[in-house]
Structure 1
Amino acid sequence: MSTYTTSVDTQDRLLERPTHETSITAVKSIPISTRYGYVLVTQQGTSGRPVMVTYHDVGYNSATQFHHFFSFSEMIPITEHFTVYHINAPGQEDRATPLPSTSVYPTMEELAETVNDVFNHLDIKSAIAFGVGVGANILTRFALKYSSKVYGLILINCISRGLSWFEGFSLKWPTQDMPQQTWTDPLLTYLTWHHLGYETQITHPDLVQALRRHLEENVNAKNVIKLLNSFLKRTPILMERPNESNKNSNPPKSLKCTVVNITGFSAPHKDDVIDTNDKCDPAMSSYVEFADCGGAILEEQPAKTAEAIRLFLQGLGYISHLSIPKYSIANRLTEQAAEYKRRNGPASRAPRRTSAPFDAADSGLYGNDSHGEDTDDDQNDYGNELQLRVDSFEDRNVKI
């Protein structure tokens, strides 16, 4: 099995507070009462700016899923230009008290209604929604029902299908002890697979240990199991690619906002993400797959994820002033042009090209002919010819 290098921090990031906390990354807690129970919302960023709303995956919460990520160096330029509200599902915050045994946990549709209650309480007119796993499913349902309140959707490992018979069969063993309301080894194993997939568990055992410690020490097992049960009983999201027959349907059967679906090459829910992307309007959606990543996108590749989010937001008209980070294609082309001039003299003009590996200068792709003379393409000024390949997310799918 292939191995790869990622940006996973070997320190136990799930169990510690963000480092270098500033006024931008500091967290403010906002308790909100909704029609389906109490939820805790945490805020990062300065108030009075464009709003981004996040929703976590099962077994995580705002602290362990998003606080570190939005404090990451590549995300700080984005965090400081948004007011970010992180929604915790009922009973999922760190060291939450157990929910009453007699309480009925909200369904996925009802959790989407709690998102609307949060919007109303905080007087949010429109926002960028950012969800991971179960949170992506909830925010997609919310965007379908309240399309005017969601300007853009960032979905990581979104599952829009209902529980398949195969998935139900594979879950029979790990979930058979769930009425005990305590962690069992099969259940921890299932959640580890749900978040990481098989390959990440092999290549990053430290991340597996951090996740299991987080589940055992940070969150309430009884409450997490209630959310997991709700997710396992989910109904399919009634969404389809827009066409003449459904474009005016009420409620809408297609997302009206711009969407980016993100997953990893070895993510356990990759097929589900592709299925979700196929249901979106191709003119308003894109698919991003990280070739060197499993299921834990925010932990394994935070820099690349921040780059994808930056491009998505710039496509919506936000933060257009931000410089190009190291992972962008345009920056790589510029570096290659500088390397070409270093090798061939400052007066040389690097030829135009559309794409090539980072070491293209060594591979002859900046083609000189057999006599050592520049080809016809070399006659064009590189500064005028270079086309930034960072196109709109609306036009193409991306594999990073």
Structure 2
Amino acid sequence: MLLYRLLTIWQIRLGSVMCFGVTAGAYILTLFASKYRERVLGLILVSPLCKGPTWTEWLYSKVISNLLYYYGMCGLVKECLLQRYFSKEVQGFSELPESDIVQACRSLLDQRQSMNVWRFVQTMNQRYDLTEQLKLLQCRTLIFVGENSQFHAEAVHMTSKLDRRYCALVEVQACGSLVTEEQPHAMLIPMEYFFMGYGMYRPSQLDCSPRSPLSPFCISPDLLSPESMGVKLKPIKTRVRLEV
């Protein structure tokens, strides 16, 4: 579906686009941005994949594929998928029930056709390394990853290969791969600073005018600390043209 949408963008000849992708979607968008550099303004990636699967991941995915093929969307497959994408904090344990997000995802898996999920797992288990393609990226890139994500190492690797002037890594504490579901509030301030580099957010010059509650000029410095935000924020370096 994502590839179809990207091809649609190409066919109807839209201008440059801002892309947002999570895990496998981030992998596809990174590949797209490396091939069509003039069409992508920026990338916002959540727990991106950029390398081929490790032996551990390959074997784990192979087990899931076989279970899906022979038994369909059984309880064991659901548990394996939930453990891959969510942190233990929201999965729950004996003394703490699982969160509403995990319960909703579990119900959503029941609605998916097992063979479609099987094809997805198979495809991602055959992905190739994008390290060389990362050197071709020319757009600004903002990367989010949970510190407990199974893809944390790939996000760090990807950041190390990109131009540090135009790339930022936000590590969200006590979070798994799906930062968008577990801690979406931790993404707000980094994204606002990211968009400022494109002139999409312009603070008002008048002291009496209303401002966004997310504006850096309205936020107490204490709230910008990593402890308050729940993130480990590495500097976002962008070029911002200031009008005098």
Change (3 A) 1:355 1:234: closer
Structure with more contact order per residue of length (Cα contacts < 8 Å, sep ≥ 6): 2
Distance in 2 separating the partners of 1:327 and 1:265: 26
| Alpha-carbon shift at residue 144 of structure 1 (Å) | 0.3
Change (3 A) 1:184 1:155: same
Give every structure 1 segment of 4 or more consecutive aligned residues whose post-TM-superposition deviation is greater than 6 Å.
354-358
Counterpart in 1 of 2:104? 210
Structure 1 counterpart SS, 2:219: helix
Write out per-residue CA displacement over residues 314-371 of structure 1, whole angstroms, 9 at most, x where no aligned residue: 12221224845359586113x89xxxxxxxxxxxxxxxxx97977xxxxxxxxxxxxx
2:220 to 332, 338, 342: 332
Query: Does the aligned pair in 2 maintain the 1:240–1:279 contact within 8 Å?
Result: no
CA RMSD, Structure 1 to Structure 2 (Å) = 3.0
Q: Percent identity?
A: 24
Distance in 1 separating the partners of 2:103 and 2:141: 33
Write out per-residue CA displacement over residues 85-117 of structure 1, whole angstroms, 9 at most, x where no aligned residue: xxx44xxxxxxxxxxxxxxxxxxxxx4xx4541
1:3-42, aligned counterparts within 5 Å? none
Counterpart in 1 of 2:120? 227
Distance in 2 separating the partners of 1:235 and 1:135: 14
Structure 2 counterpart SS, 1:331: coil
| Alpha-carbon shift at residue 272 of structure 1 (Å) | 1.5
Counterpart check, 1:394 vs 2:237: yes
- Count of matched residue positions in the alignment of Structure 1 and Structure 2: 224
Structure 1 counterpart SS, 2:64: coil
TM-score for both structures, normalised by structure 1: 0.50
Counterpart in 2 of 1:185? 75
Distance in 2 separating the partners of 1:356 and 1:210: 29
Counterpart in 2 of 1:138? 28
Change (3 A) 1:160 1:198: same
Distance in 1 separating the partners of 2:40 and 2:10: 13
Gaps of 5+ in 2: 205-210, 239-244
1:273 to 155, 172, 175: 155
Structure 2 counterpart SS, 1:212: helix
TM-score for both structures, normalised by structure 2: 0.79
Query: Does the aligned pair in 2 maintain the 1:200–1:295 contact within 8 Å?
Result: no
Structure 2 counterpart SS, 1:256: coil
* AA in 2 matched with 1:133: T
Change (3 A) 1:170 1:392: closer
Gaps of 5+ in 1: 1-87, 90-110, 242-252, 337-353, 359-389, 396-400
Query: Does the aligned pair in 1 maintain the 2:47–2:145 contact within 8 Å?
Result: yes
| Alpha-carbon shift at residue 209 of structure 1 (Å) | 1.7
Change (3 A) 1:279 1:115: farther
Change (3 A) 1:239 1:119: same
